[in-house]
Structure 1
Amino acid sequence: MNMPTYQIFGSENSLDADLVFFVEEMPQTIAEKLALSKEFSKSVASCFPEKEINPNLAVCQNGHLTAVYKGTTDELNNALFHTYNFHEQKQQNQITKLLVRDIDLKFLRSTRMILSFMSKTAYRVLVKKALKGVLDEKIQALETIKVSCITSFGKDKSSCDILKSVAFQLGQTIALCEGKELYTKNEIAACFPDLRKYLFREKDATVQDLQKWLLLFVELLKYRSLIMKNTSEYKYEDENDFNCAE
């Protein structure tokens, strides 16, 4: 197959290679999206011999994304733009227009992701019920979780990896609520020094600071939920008019 057009994005010191492959039309099913992602990843694997590729798919039109496989269209669009120069790229930045961020959607997605990270812990029954429930149930679950009481996050990933992912979502979302867009570990660590040890996977890091920021996240979410038009997760393109940020 011909070499697909792709762009590297994310933290400049990421342990993995985060790639977005551009397609003219998004495949219809998850199985088709997954298969195409794997096919594209295999075709460029020789370019990243020492890294695991984390692939994504996106449709780009008129200088901005209009559909994505994983994540939200606005966040991935702006991440591609802002982190372009952090990596050695093979083509010009495909993103020339920033999208207005949907803060409600970021809170909803981060809530689901953080709960999902806890789905193989001692809180699994609570978490799985919350993931199937309404937003209030998710909030109650997050309020109940005590990170210090978690001894294992399951066999698939280490505690350091999970804590890093949680810290990243907390930092990004809280910053966005304050009008700041952060897309790398370094940016989040500079804005929230308490989260640095988790973002950089420091061993034996105590979880008190992470718990503090999780509780703040919950308080912000509770307040925001009162004014949300939609408290169920949705696609950015279904609720927004692709207004470009200045």
Structure 2
Amino acid sequence: MSGAHTHSMSRPCCAIEHTETVENYLKAIFTLTASGEPASTAAIAERLHVAAPSVSAMIGRLRVGDLIQQATWGHVLLTEHGMTHARSVVRRHRLLETFLHQALGLGWDEVHAEAEVLEHRLSERVEDLIDAALGFPDRDPHGDPIPAKTGLHLENQELPLASAVPGDQFLVQRVSDHDGAALRRLAHLGIGPGTELDVEQFSTDTGVMSVRAAGEVHSLSGTLVGVIRGRVVASISTAGRPS
């Protein structure tokens, strides 16, 4: 067998084979937890578009492999062992998204689906070559941090745009890659990581927010507001800010 192994082959350190499905579950749990959402059966099922009974069965397998542990409040957490493998999958995914966008010119709304396929077939050698060719990037096109190959990786704790109030200047740092239509709409509006938004109005009832970006006023739907994360960089007043 060739020495250029793909990452999806089974590993001797685990009690279960690391199939594409296993890697997808680890990545889903990682990204849910990193975004502050509990990795519950329902949340994992929604993220992976699978039925809840399938999630329950896989959770049992992942526990046997010492990749996750059951939390007392109804969701699962990655073990240290599981975190190591999850970081590897997430790293490959985000590196591939960056490569597809920067080197091949795919839109940021297209790269997620392609990376979902390629990440399971990427050899460690090619992973390293892509990393070097891109200049060792630390974020993907959506602003998500790319885990380092070794060492501790901590996701940045950006705030949702919905936490901003009128008068805030909000710096967009990350945009969820799970809604292609939202990404296309934001690209059309010229809104992405690095964009500064002046929040003018926000309806907590509808979730619609009026923002000014580069001199243009845009009305963002609740869906668009929901995929944007970042931080407040300036505010004319702290009154009315959620605690």
Q: Report 1 or 2 for greater relative contact order, CA contacts < 8 Å, sequence distance ≥ 6.
A: 1
Larger C-alpha radius of gyration, 1 or 2? Answer: 2
* Greater fraction helix: 1
